[in-house]
Amino acid sequence: MNKKLYKLMNWADIEEIIYSECDHPQDLLGPHKAGNYTLVQAYFPGAAEAGIKWKTSNGSDEITQMELADDDGYFAVLLPEKGVKQYSYKVTYKDENKQKNAFYGDPYRHSDIIRKSDVEDFRAGKLFNAQEVFGAHNIEHDGENGTLFAVWAPNAMRVSVIGDFNNWDGRMHQMKRIFGSVFELFIPGNNENKKYQFEIKLKGDKILKKNDPYAVRFEDGISVIAEEPAFKWTDKAYMSKKKDNSDLLIYEVLYDHFSSNAKQLKKEIAALINDVKDQGYTCVLFNPGALTDRKKRITANFFQINPYINSANGLKMIVDALHGEDIRVIFKWMPAGFGREEYGLEKFDGSCLFEHQDPRQGISADTLRCIFQYGRPEVISFLMSGGLNWVKEFHADGICISGVAKMLYLDYGKRPGEWIPNIYGNNENLEAISFIKEFINELKKINPSAIVMAEDSSTHGGMTVSQDDNGIGFDYKWNEGFVGEYFGYISHDPIERGNIQNQLTDELVYSYAERFILPLTDDLLMRNGGLLDLFPGNEEQRYRSLRLSIAYSYMHPGYKLISETFNTAADKLCANLNKLYSEEPALCETNEDPESFEWLSNLNREGCYVSFVRKTDDPEDMLIAVANFAGIEQSITTGVPYEGKYKELLNTDAKEYGGTGIVNAQIKRAIDDQADGRAQSITLKLAPLSLSILKFIPYTETELAKVIEERIRRNTPIKKSSKKKPAAGNTKASGKTTK
């Protein structure tokens, strides 16, 4: 080796690179000034030869051969100039008399890219676009196209990018530690659609291979470099409109509804729009990301696009098309914890970066997921960026946070001794609550009309109360209590229901405690099989119970959320219920008014039926629901609030819904027979497991006069005289003589 070159080289640091324990490779590798010369060093493990490839003035290639400084593949050359122009490496590998050439750009000739201010914001929990800083991004830098990789791994000895572009060799692309806790590296070349990971070396020579926490695409469980062209949105007019939530009819789309094939996706979008509009829904809810375990609803990758779509622009296409039809879109988001995959977030750099170190705080009760450190600023930056990104980048109209109960309580699902109380000695997760509040506030800054709802099974108070009034600030909360109580009741055989009638009726006590959404959804109801499996009896009885349950939920206080699974057997029923809900003020305008609901009959355990009123201040808006939960046909007499007529608007046993056709076609007139503490009543014929919805119609003046006359005649009978009236000219009868 050239003596001058030999003296310029730092052999101790070179050894650190060869043993892949270096977090500052840029100090050696790449071009560095050496007096009037430039020293260029490169490391290609296992290579036999390496040279610097230049472009000459006439466009041809010129190779400057490098010296092999270490047999492991460490090369160097001393160039007789202070500065060097753009170049790449030609590397030769020899194996069993075979020779193979490879060409690489030099990551270490480039300046740092990530700004110190971004890292400081990240550390402070204020970097709400962290996905733009970290991860893998195809950019142009210093006149060269390539991919910028960045990852947070403060406790790593060394981090490397490994992937399809370097034969998954962690020695080749060792990253630069910047600002103490972040590693970055710009790798020149076209790396689009190539798989990659971060290889993290710890003290003791332990090696971890981790997926990119900010990756949007995965293949075979491995992160993929995926940058797409800018999407051309067409929903500007829609986004500028003020939204009205009074007609919140939400249609949940299942995970596997869409396709990654562009042509097929367009057809599926058109079919979805057609279904939503035909059914009368105003909003679509679905999960834009991926679940590691669908039944357990565990998330591993918080920026990943739903793998059935597998494209950011595909997801944007769905949202844009729905907005074009004035249909709102709400995304599910699951920051309640993360899966424990080997390549995931758990012990990401050998330490507990994202989760708590103490398993009583960092591991869920079922041990299937880790719990985030909601008080760690870097974790806040990570989570906030993920949640807000769905609204900023993908134009979502709202976020539904799943698993809120798991976030609210430190002892969720745990026994005494398995959890640590907060500083006040109770079980509230104060850090998680603070995070949720901050997320809601930041989301409202981006889009003040955005909906934030809680998928929450807890009894925590103030969920939909304003933060100004010491609440948490959600717009809506799922009424999972209704789901549990109702399906706990109807899952019993009808002959047993009389003994548990309170399960059906008691939950109305708290139905106005929050701004509730009634979620008849796939996630809540189908974890152990199909929806029909929840109902007892034969197939006909189960379908009766399905129709009854859907109609009951529409008459119950609360905004509506229906899974698409339901519509296979009851699509026409859902469509008519949505139409009824939208047209009737007693349903769509009173979900937050306790005065809008009134029981008529809720104590008839033997008959196994209930009846109740939905109303506004205007009596003509009043609707009555009568539900027969018995397994037999019944004639049910229920009290009614007003004299007048009652017209059946919908009956779940109608033939158009697949029923047998036992309906009440004739208008019912209230009669003066007392029932349920009311002076007037009506009698209906109801099929087994069916529900009837009736509309109050006041009497006309003519009808009212007739009713009054009938009541007078009925209540004040006229007694007929027993004496006969004398005939004309009868003198005896008159006591006079006629001449």
Give the pLDDT band (50/70/90) at residue 486. Answer: very high
Residue-level pLDDT at 55? 83
- pLDDT greater at residue 524 or residue 323: 323
Long-range CB pairs of 13-19 (<8 Å, 24+ gap) are 14/41, 14/69, 14/70, 14/74, 17/43, 17/74, 17/174, 18/43, 18/70, 18/72, 18/74, 18/171
Query: What pTM was computed for the model?
Result: 0.91
Q: Delimit the CATH 2.60.40.10 region(s) of the chain.
A: 3-105, 116-224
| Those residues with Cβ within 8 angstroms of residue 4's Cβ, 6 or more apart along the chain or in another chain | 78
Q: Is the pLDDT at 737 greater than 60, yes or no? A: no
Residue-level pLDDT at 728? 58
Residue-level pLDDT at 99? 87
Q: Which class would CATH give 480-697? A: mainly beta
Residue-level pLDDT at 4? 79
Give the pLDDT band (50/70/90) at residue 491. Answer: very high
Give me the half-sphere count of Cα atoms (radius 13 Å) on the Cβ side of residue 500.
Answer: 17
- Region 131-152: mean pLDDT is 96
pLDDT in tens, 457-469: 999 999 999 999 9
Residue-level pLDDT at 725? 60
Q: Delimit the CATH 3.20.20.80 region(s) of the chain.
A: 236-478
- Region 391-397: mean pLDDT is 97
| Those residues with Cβ within 8 angstroms of residue 459's Cβ, 6 or more apart along the chain or in another chain | 481
Token pair, residue 72, equals: 């492991």
User: What CA–CA distance (Å, rounded) separates 689 from 538?
Assistant: 13
Give the CATH number of domain 3-105.
Answer: 2.60.40.10
- Region 279-307: mean pLDDT is 84
* Least confident span in 180-189, 570-579, 616-625: 570-579
Residue-level pLDDT at 739? 39
User: What CA–CA distance (Å, rounded) separates 302 from 214?
Assistant: 7
Helix (H, G, I), strand (E, B) or coil at 4: helix
User: What CA–CA distance (Å, rounded) separates 331 from 74?
Assistant: 50
What percentage of the chain exceeds 70 in pLDDT? 94
Q: Is the pLDDT at 715 greater than 80, yes or no? A: no
Return mean pLDDT, the chain. 91
| Those residues with Cβ within 8 angstroms of residue 217's Cβ, 6 or more apart along the chain or in another chain | 223, 224, 226, 304, 305, 310, 311
pLDDT in tens, 86-129: 899 999 999 877 889 999 999 999 999 999 999 999 999 999 99
* Least confident span in 57-66, 175-184, 209-218: 57-66
Give the pLDDT band (50/70/90) at residue 254. Answer: confident
Residue-level pLDDT at 726? 61
Q: Delimit the CATH 2.60.40.1180 region(s) of the chain.
A: 480-697
The CATH architecture to which 236-478 belongs is Alpha-Beta Barrel (3.20)
Q: Does domain 116-224 have CATH number 3.40.50.10420?
A: no
User: What CA–CA distance (Å, rounded) separates 147 from 140?
Assistant: 8
Give the pLDDT band (50/70/90) at residue 23. Answer: very high
Q: Is the pLDDT at 527 greater than 60, yes or no? A: no
- Region 290-310: mean pLDDT is 80
pLDDT in tens, 573-615: 999 999 999 999 999 999 999 999 999 999 888 999 999 999 9
- Region 205-220: mean pLDDT is 96
User: What CA–CA distance (Å, rounded) separates 615 from 600?
Assistant: 13
Consecutive H or E run containing 250: strand 249-252
pLDDT in tens, 532-550: 778 999 989 999 999 999 9
Q: Is the pLDDT at 82 greater than 70, yes or no? A: yes
pLDDT in tens, 425-455: 999 999 999 999 999 999 999 999 999 999 9
Q: Are 210 and 348 in contact (CB under 8 A)?
A: yes
Give me the count of residues in the chain.
739
Give the pLDDT band (50/70/90) at residue 568. Answer: low
Among 89, 88, 80, 73, CA closest to 33: 80
Number of Cβ within a 10 Å radius of residue 665: 9
Residue-level pLDDT at 734? 47
Q: Is the pLDDT at 735 greater than 80, yes or no? A: no
User: What CA–CA distance (Å, rounded) separates 300 from 213?
Assistant: 9
Q: Is the pLDDT at 707 greater than 90, yes or no? A: no
Query: For 565, which DSSP code?
Result: G
Q: Are 251 and 285 in contact (CB under 8 A)?
A: yes
